[in-house]
Amino acid sequence: MVESFYRQEGSLCAQHCLNNLLQGEYFSPVELSSIAQQLDEEERMRMAEGGVSSEEYRTFLQQPSVNMDDSGFFSIQVISNALKVWGLELILFNSPEYQRLGIDPINEKSFICNYKEHWFTVRKLGKQWFNLNSLLMGPELISDTYLALFLAQLQQEGYSIFVVKGDLPDCEADQLLQMIRVQQMQRPKLIGEETAQSRDQRLPRSDVDQAIEVNHPFDGTGMLDEDEENFQRALALSRQEIDMEDEEADLRRAIQLSMQGSRRSELLDSLPQNVPQLPHTSQTDSLSSEELRRRRQAYFEKQQQQLQQQDRTLNLHDKPTLSSSTPEADPGGDMSEEDMLQAAMNMSLESVRNHLNTEEEK
């Protein structure tokens, strides 16, 4: 995707920053050290103008260089002087002079960002922006809509941002990306992050952790809204499926209970009917609560069977005469399980009302 991308080696982030910006191995640590030494000598000569015997000059000589150190760090002065060779200039992004120009960041070509001793480049290649941070395993795609937010976030975190002014040297990546646009499905990992994640993958992850990971995709690729929309759609479908499963389970339980009630009715009807009847005046008092409940249940089931028999008789009277070659239609064939359950409930309510009326007449 990007012709030249230089990952972090040691603390030479300034070197990687410049080479990522120019898209080539244009600067080495030796060359940058030479620029830093030249800057140190120029500062020493300016301090000597006040007198080589002055206290300030002797203090200056005892202090380490502010332009480089043994770790490979180089100052903004070194980077600025290195870019002057290519006719490029650095302007502080949040300076009043630049802010008065009111330039939209997407209309620039590149930025150099610095926090403490770390430097990295954000550059436009073709028609797309890329974060060329040498601490990443590869370039990170940044959408136009996210660029301004990305720079504002860096400033809030304490970064100094410099706008690179001038014409950058031609590179193959810029020419290729002028013709095509790339898509990035996954944010590049930080150096060392892959090793840490491989250790974490040995541990089982909960569904909550995986959901959080899906719900927080990386910023900057323009895919955040789409991922969030897909995630919310998946949650909605999941909730609908759960509701449907609950309704179906309730319906199955109701049908099962209805079938159990029908079997109890058949069993009660098959019992001998030679149970002696007690006088009406003392029958209720002499029956136990369990026996009373069983008789009421038997009465209820018997009433229900009578109603069903009446319904079948009515259906036979109302059914049109069919020819002998026409198969007999099933009166309940087109009824759904929900209709059957509703019909059973209606018959149950009707039986209860008839039973109550009978008890009142007695």
Between the two ends of the chain, the Cα-to-Cα distance in Å is 94
User: Quick one: tokens of 168?
Assistant: 């950058």
Query: Are the C-beta atoms of 125 and 174 separated by less than 8 Å?
Result: yes
Helix intervals (H) in 128-223: 144-156, 172-177, 193-201, 207-215
Task: Return all residues near 299 (Cβ < 8 A) that are at least 6 apart.
Answer: 355
CA torsion through residues 113, 115, 116, 118, sign: negative
184 vs 217: CA distance, rounded Å: 12
CB 350 within 8 A of CB 358: no
DSSP codes of every residue in 283-320: HHHHS-HHHHHHHHHHHHHHHHHHHHHHHHHHHHHHSP
* Token pair recorded at residue 198: 């491989």
Catalytic residue chosen out of the listed positions 13, 20, 113, 114: 13
The yes-or-no answer on residue 118 being catalytic is: yes
Show Cβ contacts of residue 170 under 8 Å, excluding neighbours closer than 6 positions: none
- The whole-angstrom separation of Cα 308 and Cα 283 is 30
Cα–Cα distance measured from residue 44 to residue 61, given in angstroms and rounded to the nearest whole number: 8
Residue 13 among the catalytic residues: yes
CA distance 359 to 295: 14
Q: Which of 81, 118, 354, 355 is catalytic?
A: 118
Give me the catalytic one of 20, 114, 131, 133: 133
Bridge partners of 142?
129
Active site residues: 13, 118, 133
